[in-house]
Amino acid sequence: MQALLWVLALAASQEHGRRPLHERRRRPVRDKTARQQAAAARARARGYLEAPQLHITEDLLPEAPINDVAPPTLTEAQRQATPTLRKLPVNDQRRACAQACTAEGKGTVYAQHLRKAGGTLLRQYLARYRCKPFDTIVSKRQRLVQRGVPRAHTAHTVIQGENAFNPQSILMRPSTVYVTILRDPISRVASSFFADDGVHFENWLEGIQRASQERSKDATAFHSSQRVWPLSVKIHEEVANYYVQVFSGVAAHPITQKHFDAAVSTLSNFDVVLVLEHLSTPDGRKEAMSLLERALPLPSIARCPPSIRPRPVNSGRKGVLTEGQRRRIADLNVYDVKLYEHAVTLMNARIASVDMECAPRNCSAAPDDSLNLLHGEDALDSCGRLIPRKCRRDA
């Protein structure tokens, strides 16, 4: 009787087009959503590792050992464009000629976006400098989708926020105006901590340091085989001497005096060096805007001129570090603190200095992705996202 009932149930399920429960396939595993991926990244930063998922097939061949994989071969042009950790000569005449090129709407403007150091403020200023204000009212979706239109008499503008700066750009692209903004290193790491985790300080710190050591090991192995440093190094998150690594162009753990000297010479050749703490007062913002206006001039009749907003953006979750945590960060950023103090001195000297005159002869500054020269995001791609609302109409 029981067997007969099972047969009748099976026939009824097949009649309605449904398989029995024991024959139905399981629901396919979907990819992780963006929120799940972000949560997994934060967990890895805290020191927790996910269980590896092994997909074994019959025809799976054993992978070659990592040490047997040959590094990519660089061309002669790429080898000449690699960072060298040599100190660059400070050339004030180059900066004057580069600013003269941007005044003619030629050359290139390159901005190094440092994470949690006020880089979004700099992006907003450059978007208002480069992008032509909207003449008509458009929807938010149209603003985000469509590419902006360049403003007249402005130079091509790119922003780099993922990779370290290539110091060879200053030598190989001299007619470029280089801009950046720094923040107190301890405050920067604290802001990054509270934006990413905010709870497990030691695990978060150790997780990022492990990634930093792996990045340094890969760069050293590349240098041992190729006799040059990598062209491009991605440094998105760092807790130890982040500024020195970015401006020296080499991922290193630990940092040495040679890396610091190279970073100081690179930063000294930047046309505009701003400090986030200096923007906390109206006078400080005016002085910073005067530096930017001298390096990136616009006609006096230009509509909606760029400006620096009075408050920081994307500040993340607020929190206060303990004294022990602050000392731990300070011990990890000895060279960054020195480079930050040099940036403050450099900014004050540029504010008090008088511009030199130059008649530019060659304003070519073509970006080259293959050489990591002036490589970054075009400012026109973020016009609708970063230009304040009041400047999207006739102003």
Q: Which DSSP string corresponds to 35-46?
A: HHHHHHHHHHHT
pLDDT at site 56: 44
Query: Do the domain assignments include residue 52?
Result: no
Tokens 């206060």, residue located: 320
Tens-digit pLDDT string for the chain (395 aa): 666 766 676 665 555 555 555 555 555 545 556 666 666 766 665 554 444 454 444 444 455 454 445 566 888 888 999 999 999 999 889 999 999 999 888 889 999 999 999 888 898 899 889 988 876 666 666 666 667 888 888 999 999 988 999 999 999 999 999 999 999 999 999 988 888 877 788 999 999 999 999 999 999 999 999 999 999 899 888 999 999 999 999 999 889 999 999 999 999 999 999 999 999 889 999 999 999 999 999 888 787 888 887 665 545 567 788 899 999 999 999 999 999 999 999 999 999 888 788 877 788 877 888 888 888 888 888 887 766 555 654 43
Query: Do the domain assignments include residue 7?
Result: no
Alpha helices in 147-300 (DSSP H): 168-172, 185-196, 201-226, 242-248, 257-268, 282-295
Amino acid at 306: P
pLDDT at site 34: 61
| Integer Cα distance of 258 and 252 in angstroms | 11
Query: Do the domain assignments include residue 187?
Result: yes
pLDDT at site 214: 92
Query: Do the domain assignments include residue 44?
Result: no
Q: In what order do the strands lie in the sheet with 377-378?
A: 272-275, 176-182, 108-112, 156-160, 377-378
pLDDT at site 145: 62
Tokens 């008088």, residue located: 354
Q: Are 119 and 312 in contact (CB under 8 A)?
A: no
Query: Do the domain assignments include residue 362?
Result: yes
Query: Do the domain assignments include residue 158?
Result: yes
The number of folded domains in the chain is 1
Q: Are 218 and 253 in contact (CB under 8 A)?
A: no
Can you name the residues that pair with 163 across neighbouring β-strands?
A: 234
Query: Do the domain assignments include residue 351?
Result: yes
pLDDT at site 13: 56
Please count the residues of the chain.
395
Alpha helices in the chain (DSSP H): 2-15, 34-45, 76-80, 92-103, 119-130, 140-145, 168-172, 185-196, 201-226, 242-248, 257-268, 282-295, 323-332, 334-352, 383-386
Q: Look up the CATH number of the domain holding residue 204.
A: 3.40.50
Tokens 């970063």, residue located: 386
| Integer Cα distance of 217 and 247 in angstroms | 19
Residue 228 structural domain? 76-391
Q: Are 102 and 177 in contact (CB under 8 A)?
A: yes
DSSP state for residue 301 in the 8-state scheme:
T
pLDDT at site 137: 60
Query: Do the domain assignments include residue 252?
Result: yes
